[in-house]
Structure 1
Amino acid sequence: MTLFEEEIEDEDRDKWIVWFDSASNALGHGVGVVLVTPNDQCIPFRARLGFDCMNNMAEYEACTLGTQAVIDFKVKFLKVYGDSALVIHQLRGEWETKDHKLIPYQAYIKKQTKFFNDIYFHHIPREENQMADVLATLASMFQLTPHGDLQYIKFRCRGKLSHCCLIEEDKDGKPWYFDIR
């Protein structure tokens, strides 16, 4: 490892990452956020929006959920990734925010940036934002219940078919298909 690589690694050591996205469909609006700690622990968040809004408002809601969550963790160095070019470029100050519905969102997130020593907003392709997208879609499809929030959802990857666990070897040492003619 070179000195330059060590400097970059030291620089990013304390940085948290926020991936955010929103989903809007006939069933409603949802937002998804994935926090990644400096030691690569993933913390997923999702929320259903209980109000009608535009797609860009939902994107800002997702970004806000992510930045609020890391403020609660007292994070000082943050990288924010989203696939909404509009939101990212407006937050960087590269594009003007003209829509009167989006101006308060931009102002609110800009106010939140004062809680960080360093914060960077990065635009990424949609294909690189799959987990946040899935969480947002899931949140948008659930109807809210009077019993409160849904509990944490854990995703697992299964490497083999579940029915294969039931196949046992015959005690005679012959394969299961031996008697099939």
Structure 2
Amino acid sequence: MNGAVEAANKNIKKIIEKMTVNYKDRHEMLPFALLAYRTSIRSSTGATPYSLVYGMETVLLIEVEIPSMRIMARAFNKKVRIREFSPGDLILWKVLHIALDSRGKFAYKYDGPFIVKEVFNGGAIILNDMDGNENALPVNADAFKKYYP
């Protein structure tokens, strides 16, 4: 139609020429050349042909052997506990001991309780303390756990 097939064939041929020593092993290198062509990003679309067809990036065999950031993130996300808060819940805020505390291991681990005023969809919440004073800045929900009086 518009020469796209011929251009793709030309690119695959260039890949095979770089991989082979003589013309007799071209048929052995064809699957590897096709994999390289299908998983490399095109400048015209900014995506790989594989991702355009299947809607996701391919996981290469080397990524299974040597963990990549994508594989490690997938393993980490399996262990994440979803914390669901709703307005009016009582929660405790985890204390990060930046300054040295004289009580050592007997120092408080959590501060509060606080009342959830508003919940955002990205995991941020706005708090009120027990006196009704509002904390104006949203805080990430990872630092909280529910309080059951």
With normalisation by structure 1, the TM-score equals 0.20
Q: Which has the higher contact order (CA 8 A, sep 6+)?
A: 1
With normalisation by structure 2, the TM-score equals 0.23
Q: Which has the higher strand share?
A: 1
